[in-house]
Structure 1
Amino acid sequence: MQKFVFAIGSTATIFTLFLAIRAFGIVSPEPPAMQVAQQPNCKDPQTQVEINACSGIEYQNADRRLNQVYQQLMPKLSAARKQKLILAQRAWINFRNANCEFERSQFEGGTMAPAIQAGCLAQLTKTRTTQLEEYIKSDL
């Protein structure tokens, strides 16, 4: 019985710590990693596990592209504008994460919740990437 109580207490402590870290914005939310025996067929996913995995992959690709474009934009800016972009990007990340967490909450506890969150993260990230690409094209 003591082992059981200890295990429950330890799990609760870890979970509380995780929530505190996320609440202070130290960690950007990532869709839960899905364990799939083989690579999912993202052209035609057949199961919720595949849909969740493919949504996570889509978000990872979108985030990678966003970071590439951000790195292309930064050298084109003056020091003052770089600071403004950094502030704007941090605010945008906080908005994106909170907004997608809200969207996910409608399906909390359901098997499609990870796909909803990852899809939201991917879509907003792609939109932000397009915005940053426009700044690059405008020759600032």
Structure 2
Amino acid sequence: MRQILPLFVSIITVASLSANTVTLANTQSQLGKTYLAQKLNCNDPQTQSEMNICSQLSYQNADKKLNQVYKQLLPKLSKTRQQKLIAAQLAWIKFRDASCEFERSAYEGGSIAPNIYAGCLEEATKQRTQQLREYLQRDDY
């Protein structure tokens, strides 16, 4: 049910957009590939649904940056350290998701819950990206 709510909100939002504001955007949901057609002004979202979608897009942007830094760091490490980083990253993802699920749970059933969850994911992801960047700057790979 928790995974269906963001998808449902996205579908409702897409259905409510007028035809002349629709463009194709490729966005993946937690349930697999879902393609949303939308054109949003995320600098000034007007509805809770728009805020939720913009938060999700902002998180996805942060996640892309994290993956870029991770991919830069991984080949610079010895095989043993690569394995440790992979294990640490998988554990961090589980922790991040569980922590953000806890934060979101304070708004259970509310229309702001997806926004809270995505905002939490984004903030934690930015922090982790900074940690990985600091590893890249060190000389003791």
- The verdict on a shared fold, with TM-score over 0.5 as the criterion, is yes
Matched, 1:97 2:71: no
Identity, % of aligned pairs?
A: 60
Kept in 2, the 8 Å contact 1:31–1:118? The answer is no
Equivalent-residue separation in structure 2 for 1:95 and 1:77 (angstroms)? 24
Matched, 1:43 2:27: no
Identify which of structures 1 and 2 has the higher relative contact order when contacts are C-alpha pairs closer than 8 Å and 6+ apart.
Answer: 1
Alignment size in residue pairs: 114
Quote the residue 2:20 is aligned against.
Answer: none
Task: Please say which structure displays the higher CA radius of gyration.
Answer: 1
Equivalent-residue separation in structure 2 for 1:125 and 1:40 (angstroms)? 23
Structure 1 residue 45: deviation in Å?
1.0
Unaligned 5+ segments in structure 2 are 18-37
- Which structure: greater helix fraction? 1
Letter in structure 1 aligned against 2:95? F
Quote the residue 1:32 is aligned against.
Answer: 6
TM score, norm. by length of structure 2: 0.75
- Which structure: greater strand fraction? 2
Kept in 2, the 8 Å contact 1:31–1:56? The answer is no
**Superposition RMSD on alpha carbons, in Å?**
1.9
Kept in 2, the 8 Å contact 1:31–1:117? The answer is no
Structure 1 residue 31: deviation in Å?
8.1
After superposition, what is the alpha-carbon deviation per residue over 1:82-124, rounded to whole angstroms, capped at 9, x for unaligned?
Answer: 0110111011001000000001100010000000000000000
List aligned pairs for 1:104-119, cutoff 5 A: 104-119=104-119
TM score, norm. by length of structure 1: 0.76
Structure 1 residue 30: deviation in Å?
9.7
Divergent runs of 4+, >4 A: none
Cα 1:30/1:109, change in 2 over 3 Å: closer
